[in-house]
Chain A
């Protein structure tokens, strides 16, 4: 089995996809670093040399003002209220939520890329893992070896897991390494709040507790990895089912983008919460953001993703072991 996985990794490396992914990340991180840097600078300029508490107070007032406007939608109002109570909590407990530093950047970067950017990168790697063997005809040589079909597919699945882990690790290393040049590398121990949950309009703070940022980041990266594995598994299944890599990418791309759109507008269509693509934003549960649909929680979203992942895994293996190869 180790030899089989090695073969798959060799093919992956030779196709240069992983390098491209690393290049994309290495290109995007400085871009966002600069954006973040600009934002901080902008705020500083606007507010003079004020203390962050004053800034946070300002934001709170800002939110309150917006809340008092009568022309805002219910959804938006709900979100603002939650945000407000969270901001107030930070202020009361003397925690600067936006203290600059590479770990903070890493955290923000990963929170923003969990539902679209990272799944897209995973998709680019995984989409042709099986379909390219079928369209290139090499599957005929691969499946006429003295190795059972499920073992060959398993080696590909393990190669997928390794690649996904590599992508997540690259994001961590690159976002930390590159942004640190601008923001400095400190801030691992900054205290952060987690354990928020939302029930109706209320931000429930019963379980809120303080964790050091490194622990918080570790937690988020775990969730990111989980999401990437699920997206990888589903792409993998499509790659088994379809001969055309373009079709695999098309379907995944459409679902992921649909997920991003749905997450913003489905609050009244309750059963939409069973779609995997609406449940990708797991880090939101950690930071205490509003959920797209009521009744969603970290446990719920993880279970929905697990069900989709397991189903995809089973479909992939059953089809691959039985299918006629023309």
Chain B
């Protein structure tokens, strides 16, 4: 990660009508990485993204896209950016092609051939000459990404891109985003309120709550720390007693025991149970829910 950052956000704050909505957010995106922006509804993800793309002006703080300051060097900064903020809202009375042509014309550096490229990339060739009003949400989402990719950006920003998509659509989107980062060396900022989504497509993640980033880390680190082991064993009280001599144990809802995941010690714990006469029927690891993560990183504060 010695490359120069694609997107730098530093000490961003925003006050709306006397209310501090964003309270000093900082993070950095490097080329080729998918960065997750994770937080519950109302945490300030969209507000932060609107500032990055220049739709609203920050109360303080700086944003640099490809090294260019969004405030002082708007057009150059925007040349390196593609985005969808909230829903992919395109002109419903124009065809997909006309929509793309419309946005391509706004940047003279985009050659006409680029249209066909992005259409092929998002797989919309069949329906591109139909009106957008006849498109499904998934197709609009893809057309939205196509318009974002027109100017060969360095940074792609997608605000809750899987919102409203069906499971197949979500998986498709996820793979597509990874592919873009890998093959085009694009930095992608993806916001979401679902941990499951972020963990499957992102390299690093920033957790935002009530307008502040409370943790930025690689997905692996974050999850490993919080990963649990679910035990099914008989008799339960004995198993609990033996395990609690080694680590902290909580009882699950369906007659299971839950401990932290500690890879080097796990075989020892198991051995101890077996030797103590406990039948271990099942051991499986479980990723924490967003709620668990939040409880952990905020030190017991609930997410709403």
Are A and B physically bound partners?
yes
Residues in chain B near residue A137, CB distance under 8 A: 86-87, 89
Residues in chain A near residue B78, CB distance under 8 A: 144-147
Residues in chain A near residue B107, CB distance under 8 A: 145-147
Binds B, one of A4-12, A21-29, A219-227: A4-12
Binds A, one of B47-55, B202-210, B285-293: B47-55
Interface residues of A, count at CB 8 A: 24
Binds A, one of B90-98, B181-189, B240-248: B90-98
* Cα(A195)–Cα(B92), bound, Å: 52
Q: Indicate if the CB atoms of B105 and A144 lie closer than 8 Å.
A: no
Interfacial residues of chain B within 122-176, with CB under 8 A of chain A in the complex: 147, 151
* Cα(A11)–Cα(B94), bound, Å: 8
A11-B94, A148-B74 given as contacts; is B86 within 8 A of A3 (CB)? Answer: no
Q: Indicate if the CB atoms of A146 and B55 lie closer than 8 Å.
A: no
Residues in chain A near residue B76, CB distance under 8 A: 146
Query: Could you tell me the distance in whole angstroms from the C-beta of B71 to the nearest C-beta in chain A?
Result: 12
Residues in chain A near residue B86, CB distance under 8 A: 137, 140
* Cα(A153)–Cα(B91), bound, Å: 18
* Cα(A148)–Cα(B76), bound, Å: 10
Most buried by B among A3, A138, A144: A144
Residues in chain A near residue B50, CB distance under 8 A: 324-326
Across the interface, B106 reaches (CB within 8 A) one of A4, A15, A138, A325, namely A4
Query: Could you tell me the distance in whole angstroms from the C-beta of B15 to the nearest C-beta in chain A?
Result: 11
Q: Indicate if the CB atoms of A324 and B56 lie closer than 8 Å.
A: yes
A148-B74, A148-B75 given as contacts; is B55 within 8 A of A3 (CB)? Answer: no
- Secondary structure at the B interface, as helix, strand, loop or mixed, is loop
Residues in chain A near residue B179, CB distance under 8 A: none
Query: Could you tell me the distance in whole angstroms from the C-beta of A48 to the nearest C-beta in chain B?
Result: 58
Return the chain A residue nearest B85 by Cβ. A140
Across the interface, B105 reaches (CB within 8 A) one of A4, A146, A324, namely A4
A10-B98, A146-B151 given as contacts; is B90 within 8 A of A138 (CB)? Answer: yes
At the interface, yes or no: B264 with Cβ under 8 Å from chain A? no
Residues in chain A near residue B53, CB distance under 8 A: 140, 144
Q: Indicate if the CB atoms of A324 and B55 lie closer than 8 Å.
A: yes
- CB-CB contacts of A147-179 with B at 8 A, as 1s and 0s? 110000000000000000000000000000000
Residues in chain A near residue B103, CB distance under 8 A: 141, 145
At the interface, yes or no: B272 with Cβ under 8 Å from chain A? no
* Cα(A82)–Cα(B92), bound, Å: 56
Across the interface, B75 reaches (CB within 8 A) one of A6, A11, A147, A324, namely A147
- CB-CB contacts of A122-154 with B at 8 A, as 1s and 0s? 000000000000001110111111111000000
A15-B93, A140-B55, A144-B55 given as contacts; is B105 within 8 A of A7 (CB)? Answer: yes
Return the chain B residue nearest A135 by Cβ. B89
Query: Could you tell me the distance in whole angstroms from the C-beta of A130 to the nearest C-beta in chain B?
Result: 14
At the interface, yes or no: B108 with Cβ under 8 Å from chain A? yes
Interface pairs (10), CB distance under 8 Å:
A11-B91, A14-B91, A15-B93, A136-B89, A140-B86, A144-B55, A145-B78, A147-B107, A148-B75, A324-B55
Q: Assuming A10-B94, A322-B57, what are 19 further A-B pairs, CB within 8 angstroms? A: A3-B106, A3-B108, A7-B102, A11-B91, A11-B94, A15-B93, A138-B90, A141-B103, A144-B53, A145-B78, A145-B106, A146-B75, A146-B79, A146-B151, A147-B75, A147-B78, A324-B55, A325-B56, A326-B55
Q: Which residues of B contact A (CB under 8 A)?
A: 50, 53-57, 74-76, 78-79, 81, 83, 85-87, 89-94, 98, 102-103, 105-108, 147, 151
Q: Which residues of A contact B (CB under 8 A)?
A: 3-4, 6-7, 10-11, 14-15, 136-138, 140-148, 322, 324-326
Q: Kindly list the 4 A-B residue pairs having the minimum CB-CB distance in the complex, ordered from nearest.
A: A137-B89, A324-B56, A146-B78, A325-B55
